A and B are shown apart, each in its own frame.
Chain A
Amino acid sequence: MADPNLHRPMALQQTPVILPGHDFETVTETIAEIPLARRFPLGWVGFILVSLALLGALHMALGYLVMKGIGIFGTNQPVGWAFPIINFVWWIGIGHAGTLISAILMLFKQQWRMSIARFAEAMTIFAVACAAIFPVFHTGRPWLAAYWLFPYPNAMGLWPQFKSPLIWDVFAVSTYATVSVVFWYVGLIPDLATLRDRATSKIKARIYGMVALGWRGSARHWHRYEVASLILAGLSTPLVLSVHTVVSFDFAVSVIPGWHATIFPPYFVAGAIYSGFAMVLTLAIPVRRFYGMESLITMRHIDNMAKVMLATGLIVGYGYSMEAFFAWYSANPHEQFMIYNRMFGQYAWSYWTLISINVVMVQFLWLKRVRQNVGLLFVMSLIVNVGMWLERFVIVVTSLANDFVPSSWAHYTPTFWDYLLYAGTFGLFLTAFLLFLRFVPMISIFEVKTLLPQAKVEAEH
């Protein structure tokens, strides 16, 4: 493929998706040496210790939760859903970026996706794993909720209630998790074979050999691989839209003002991609620095991701304005009170914080200077994640705390255990992610190679 910068004026020239100086060997070397290294980098060890501590906290929180009941959280009447559901939506939303990158951008043949797709997908899987903890454990009886929500044949002839959005959720999220894992793993197979071949110890060769499923790189293998990944990309693409649409139905299908809104599906999907890209940036920026991957994850990637954030952030901002408009236009006093309450009620601080992040701050991404400032982007991506968490807080908590009957209005305050469980899922996420960085090639070796000029020459033969 021709260099995209060839016919552009200097000002619009883009950084290439792979910096000059790489050949097949250096690409393989740079990426594969990390999982195959003998020693554990000191920084990595430090991070994993923190992550393991948080993972321990997760176990403690879950153990205490099962022992005592969900009363250890701040959830109450009328706020029947709070931190767990907010965290669930937040984690699921984060996952969306990975699927978007690996599936939709693949179908659209966006080359810049190749060097970030692998770990974005890993992020998706780990985020979905974190998310899945909440809907199960926030129930009163998780030991039953874990399987009664699935349609399984039983002696009593009882089925789930298919009218309930929570059942749709079960299908949406479990499908999403399955497809994501399969897609990710299929994409890993050629690289795992590379590791197997380069392994210096017998044990490593054995393990990588096993998980590489006998990949030999034959033309037939490559053919099957291409077909499979195309099919999986095709399967994943609707999931990017459907999963968060279904999650938004949890709210939109209800009757509660602030939940019952037709704009929710697109607004939720955009919000998910917005927060997902923020998370990819949060992870990519330190990782490329730490592992010296600036030549593979270039400023071009960073810039593109910031642009996606800007675009989806604007959609989210549109969603906020439409919520307010609908409330006014509906002439429904409950709807009108809902938006009034968000702006000036007991949780007004959360509303204005999220507006200043998701509507105001995101406008700075119009500036190339901002998009090119890696440190600033890192901070902004963190803030965007806070903002998107607050968005779910506003939707879930403020709507429930002040709904139809004023006598039931109340205040919700999270407890220590709410925070601990949330922090604990970071433990799970980071532990999994750090293990991924250490033992799996974080960038797709064979795909990045196709970006090299050498690859193109051969392809043109």
Chain B
Amino acid sequence: MSHRLDTDSTQMGELDTTRRGQAIDLKAVRSKLRENVPQVWRSLDEVSDTAEFKKYLHREFPSNASEWLDPVGRRSFLKLMSASMALAGVTACTVQPQELIVPYVRQPEEEIPGKPLYFATAITQGGAATGLLVESHEGRPTKIEGNPDHPASRGATDLFAQGSVLTLYDPDRSQTILQLGDVRPWNAAIAAIRGGLSAQSASKGAGLRILTETVASPTLAAQIQQVLVTYPEAKWIQWEPVNRDNARAGARTALGRYVEPLYDLTRADVILSLDADFLSSDGALNLYYMRQFATRRRVEENADNLNRLYVVESDYTPTGGRADNRLPLKSSQIEAFSRAVAAGVGASGVSGTAPSEAAAFASAVAKDLSEHKGRAVVIAGDSQPPAVHAIAHAINAAIGAPVSYVPTAEIVPSEQNAALRELVADINASKVQMLVIVGESNPVYSAPADLKFEDAIKRVGLVVHSGLFFDETATYSHWHIPAAHYLEAWSDARTIDGTVSIVQPLIQPLYGGKSPHEVIATMTDRPERNGYDVVREYWQSAAAAFGRSGETGSSTRQAAPTRSAQPVSPKPGSEGTAGEGGFEKSWRKWLHDGVIAGSAPQAGAAAATVAPDVATRVAQAGAPIEGIEINFRRDPTIYDGRYANNGWLQELPKPMSKLTWDTAAHIAPKTAEDHDLENGDLITIEHEGRTIEAPVFVMPGHAKDSVTITVGYGRSRAGRLGTDTGYNAYELRGSTAPFFGAAKILKTGEEYDLAVTQEHWAIEGRNLIRSATLEEFKKNPAFVKEMEHAKEGKRISLYPDKEYRGQQWGMSIDMNACTGCMACVIACVAENNIPVVGKVQVKTNREMHWLRIDRYFAGNPESPDAYMQPLPCQQCENAPCEVVCPVAATTHSAEGLNDMVYNRCVGTRYCSNNCPWKVRRFNFLLYQDWNTPTFKLQRNPDVTVRSRGVMEKCTYCVQRINAARIQAKREDTPQQPRLIRDGEVVTACQAVCPAEAIVFGDINDPNSRVAKLKASPRNYTMLEDLNTRPRTTYLAAVKNQNPDPALHNNPMVGHHGSTTHEASEGGGH
């Protein structure tokens, strides 16, 4: 593997793609070689491909060995392995294995061993891209950061991008091209695809189908369209299990075209979300909206800056948690609600009445929206039917909402479920002979249950599958081609506002994976092209086309489906695009910046107006569901199941339920009472004649008579971590009601263990969380001080105060901005080499996350407020952990940090016991995977990999502080002393936060951002009366509730004793 690691000077991208074997002086072998060139071969046996060799190969590689497929054999193998590891541990002072180290013969450009390089690239998910900067240590991508220049990122990332780097190194990834289980070379796969295609050429591809995920790559779309030009009768189906069909269809209903509404939340004083989790999971612009939203939650300069968010939703989502007024409502009733609001604001003839329990809310919302014309926005959720989207568009038009319509990020928008249904119908009608499946949509596992995709796929003569894993779909395919991870392959990707990024690889494919471009290329007249050439050539011709036509950009981005293969034209840099040299310059700039400047459409490029007859178009009202309603949602951490084998994401607590490693059926406390259910009770859910079992999770604030379950669990072929974890909701989900439908639930009487990281959800009337209404805040901006129950300034200590002459660090966390999206937690995991402990250990409360987000519910359990509190180490000045450590393994640094000395720690756990915040984490067992070689590549070399028996905790990313200090010291002169500048150290959690809720810096410098925030009247310290003087402080939440007495408002929290003991209600042990 080493050659793959040391050669990639990836920064500008000329990757040496393959190494070919040398010819041998044997005729037969030579001919074999000619037709069958393996990249590298080891023996003549291999080349001649004898049966013995195949057998040998099969036994040789553990990934193919039959023991791995046999669970019992695998288990005993693992046992043996662990026993020998344990014995190796017993002997302790073993001789290290002899390893030869070859230094760089030529130093790769810009590579300084020990210093990371950052490369711009992009991740595509859900049909839109997020720009990234990837940290690379000596050719190994280790950590993902957001690209500040990318509009969908602005330096932040979501949790999937953070987790994706672990998938890259997943040892369970598919590693070989397989034909019905036999290892085959790449050119055999090409030959098979070409063979399949030639059989199709007579019928012009009538039997050919290409199934991809939502494609946001202009190059890939152009490639597929090129195939479709050759085979005009073939069809291309874009399909993902959690798609945006409703939003697309709704836009077409209201606006006549597939367009994306782009809201300007910075200009919105009032926002209504109709089941839209736009801050966390709906759509693809969560990061963009979260940043915009957060700017309107800051009240330091102007209290009237505070916006007001209404959320009407069935499940409790992070967006609902940010709501000032929230109404739990069954998904099927939200349409009626939206009609009532539309009628209330006078939106072009839409009429209707809200369900009785929501009437007051609807009229209050309608009144508020009408009063804020031009400064209010309505957002419909992707799980709501097209009518709700159309009504939302109509309301937005009526109130003059700050929304612009842009072309969709996917190159060819479509309605995906209909396309998949058509595909299955075609297969069943024996019209399909060849099916090429590219990407992670995994239809055998995730397709709607009523389509019976796994039966249909068996009827196709040739199924070629390319994916990262040998998954459920791969088992039904004749050919499986391992896919290259996005960090291993060249591509490009468009984001919602139209900006395109070039996706550049950070590393050679670890397992010889092929990118979608390379797989699709096999179907064109030049089958053996590598991704780099394809992508570069596309952009070269795009630039050239631009040079000829001088167009400004989005000429071909029609909203309606199109088969146009015309490329998207980039706007050239100032250097122009003339000639190869000019292109090379632009290309390098695009790669460097991570965005193609000017590729976004100009304002108004997709100007759309709501059709005047929208009311008649949505006249047919959806019927509300009587009885129990089932909702299917994307999983907050493992997406649609594609991250099922990603330990970081599996162990990341779901934002609202704090559940790990499982999905659960969320139900309201009232529904739980009605059906006599508790957390962990197994229920049977029946929907459209199908049934599954699932454990119950009682979610306060969930709509009554409604069940929400997330998809993505219960996979049968995900890998060692993901296989057989949880229950599969796809088995229940049909194609006609993909997001909600009628259901019945039945208690089975059995129980199931749920591993939840926060078992207790009530604040117990403590002042850990403090909040006020906007009126209270205006009256008394320093309301947090009154919630303190110790006298201020009473800071006695036996020891003299430490003086900090240089710099000392501190952190401020804004609870008004935080949505609890969990990106900071997984960023911390990635940065600090935090191990995955597994469900059983989480169940015993031994998760290792250094940073957690505490989620509390307050008020009425049927409709509570939610508060999110990120809790890293508080880095106390009078740290209670330091004085109790008997071996001085946790000490105070000269800059005020509370350092952990892993080498010195003997593991008494006294420090953790004495920590009032319980932020310390202990390696109860050997949690870190010390054996899997690929995981070794992933780790951050600047952070110690901890072993068994050692305490650990948040360090304020001390490795980043030290890196900045080295830089500062290099520039430090006696004439001009140079300290670390404000903003030079950005902790991992701070960097990733889309809401910019976390600010870190020097609190000795009164002009630093953190010092200014700490001077805010909202600033408070948790547990101040303990006099530990934490360096992490919080900014209290200010809520802008609608004071209308008809609405239910929960009391604010933070006054001691103001809330009763909710222990009995909110306990939940």
Contacts and interface: CB of A to CB of B under 8 A. Distances in A.
- The answer to whether A and B come from one shared complex is yes
Contact size range, B = 35 or more
A166 to B, nearest CB: 4
B906 A144 contact: yes
A255 to B, nearest CB: 5
A176 B657 CA distance: 51
B787 to A, nearest CB: 12
A158 B909 contact: no
B949 A166 contact: no
Listed from nearest, the 3 A-B pairs whose CB atoms lie closest are: A140-B907, A140-B949, A71-B924
A158 B924 CA distance: 26
B760 A70 contact: no
Contact of A67 (B86, B856, B880, B910): B86
A164 B758 contact: no
A167 B886 CA distance: 6
A164 B86 contact: no
A148 B871 CA distance: 32
Interface string A219-256: 00000000000000000000000000000001001111
Interface string B869-885: 10100000000100111
A383 B222 CA distance: 82
B856 A406 contact: yes
Interface stretch (B445-453, B915-923, B955-963): B915-923
Contacts of B847: 77
A81 B909 contact: yes
A164 B924 contact: no
Given A80-B913, A81-B913, A139-B906, A409 B760 contact: yes
A138 B883 CA distance: 20
A115 to B, nearest CB: 41
B912 to A, nearest CB: 5
A423 B283 CA distance: 58
Contacts of A159: 888
A300 interface: no
A79 B916 CA distance: 12
Contacts of A411: 759, 845, 1069
A149 B909 contact: no
Interface string B346-390: 000000000000000000000000000000000000000000000
A140 B906 contact: yes
A406 B908 CA distance: 23
Contacts of A138: 908
A141 interface: yes
B906 A160 contact: no
Main secondary structure of the interface of A (DSSP, over half): loop
Interface stretch (A29-37, A122-130, A397-405, A429-437): A397-405
A161 interface: yes
Contact of A80 (B758, B766, B909, B1028): B909
B763 A77 contact: no
11 contacts: A77-B912, A77-B920, A81-B910, A140-B948, A149-B887, A163-B884, A165-B884, A166-B884, A333-B789, A334-B766, A404-B1023
A411 B401 CA distance: 50
Contacts of B918: 77-78, 403, 405, 408
Interface in B903-944: 904-910, 912-914, 916-918, 920-926
Nearest to B869: A407
B89 interface: yes
Contacts of A180: none
A250 B918 CA distance: 18
Interface of B: 86, 89-90, 758-766, 768, 789, 841, 844-847, 852, 854-856, 869, 871, 880, 883-888, 904-910, 912-914, 916-918, 920-926, 948-951, 1022-1023, 1025-1026, 1028, 1056-1057, 1061, 1063, 1069
Interface of A: 67-72, 74-81, 135, 138-142, 144-145, 148-149, 158-161, 163-167, 170, 250, 253-256, 332-334, 337, 340, 345-346, 400, 403-411, 413
Nearest to B950: A140
Contact of A346 (B916, B948, B1069): B1069
B908 A166 contact: yes
B763 A139 contact: no
Contact of B884 (A148, A253, A345, A409): A253
B944 to A, nearest CB: 15
Contact of A254 (B789, B869, B880): B880
A141 B916 CA distance: 24
A375 to B, nearest CB: 41
A254 B884 contact: yes
A407 B1067 CA distance: 10
A69 B926 CA distance: 7
A254 B908 CA distance: 14
B925 A69 contact: yes
Contacts of A135: 908
Nearest to B889: A161
Given A80-B913, A141-B948, A158-B904, 4 more contacts: A77-B920, A164-B885, A164-B910, A254-B910
B883 A77 contact: no
Given A140-B951, A164-B886, A404-B916, A149 B906 contact: yes
B921 A77 contact: yes
Given A254-B880, A337-B764, A76 B846 contact: yes
Contacts of A79: 845
Given A69-B925, A411-B1069, A406 B763 contact: yes
B949 A70 contact: yes
B801 to A, nearest CB: 17
Contacts of A408: 758, 917-918
B948 A407 contact: no
Contacts of A404: 766, 768, 916-917, 1023, 1026
A407 B854 contact: yes
A264 B65 CA distance: 62
A69 B922 CA distance: 11
A407 B758 contact: yes
Contact of B764 (A76, A77, A253, A406): A406
Contacts of A69: 923-926, 948-949
A149 B948 contact: no
Contact of B760 (A144, A148, A164, A406): A406
Contacts of A77: 845-847, 912, 918, 920-922
Nearest to A136: B906
Residue among A74, A141, A160, A345 with most chain B CB within 10 A = A141
Contacts of A253: 883-884
A226 B256 CA distance: 109
Given A70-B949, A160-B888, A410-B845, A140 B922 contact: yes
B908 A71 contact: no
A69 B89 CA distance: 12
A403 B926 CA distance: 27
Nearest to A251: B913
Nearest to B923: A140
Contact of A406 (B762, B846, B888): B762
A148 B887 contact: yes
Given A140-B923, A411-B759, A148 B906 contact: yes
A345 B1028 CA distance: 27
Contact of A161 (B768, B855, B887, B951): B887
A138 B761 CA distance: 31
B949 A400 contact: no
Nearest to B843: A76
Contacts of B760: 406-407, 409
B790 to A, nearest CB: 9
Residue among A74, A334, A406, A410 with most chain B CB within 10 A = A406
Contacts of B1057: 333
B949 A170 contact: no
Contacts of B855: 407
B83 to A, nearest CB: 10
A405 B914 CA distance: 12
Contact of A333 (B758, B885, B1026, B1056): B1056
B948 A405 contact: no
A67 B846 contact: no
